[in-house]
Amino acid sequence: MKFRSLLLAGFTTLALSGAAFAGNTAVVIQSGGYNQSSVTQSGGLNSVQSYQFGGVSVSDIRQGGRGSVNNADVFQQGDAVNVSGVSQAGRSNTLNSAQIGGTNVSDVSQRGPNNVARIGQAGVFNFNKLSQFRRQGAGTK
């Protein structure tokens, strides 16, 4: 792959885990023609900020841990397509998400006694799926 192609494509995969009361923090900033990030966190306190600017942006965030506190902020701005998937399972789950682009897709799942999701989308086509379950085992068999 040529250097020029690498500048146009952003790709990040992060996997963070810690002891039961340890904290994880991740910040992802991508700018390019195609951006893709995947962040997995398992700990007592998990925090991620994901910022993507470009034509196509894809963000996948998974946060959990026994009794964990999870916070995620997602901002995507691009001309074409923005896709965001967030899964949070813990005692307290908070998501702030903003998507600005031609087509915006958001899929959010929160499991725990305290769930807050703020989702804003501005585009020609906007699609959003939000699932919130009070107990971590709810909605699964």
pLDDT in tens, 3-50: 344 444 455 555 544 444 568 999 999 999 999 999 999 999 999 999
Tokens 């699609």, residue? 127
Q: CB 81: neighbour CB atoms within 10 A?
A: 19
Pairing state of beta strands 92-100 and 23-42? Answer: unpaired
Q: 0.85 exceeded by the pTM?
A: no
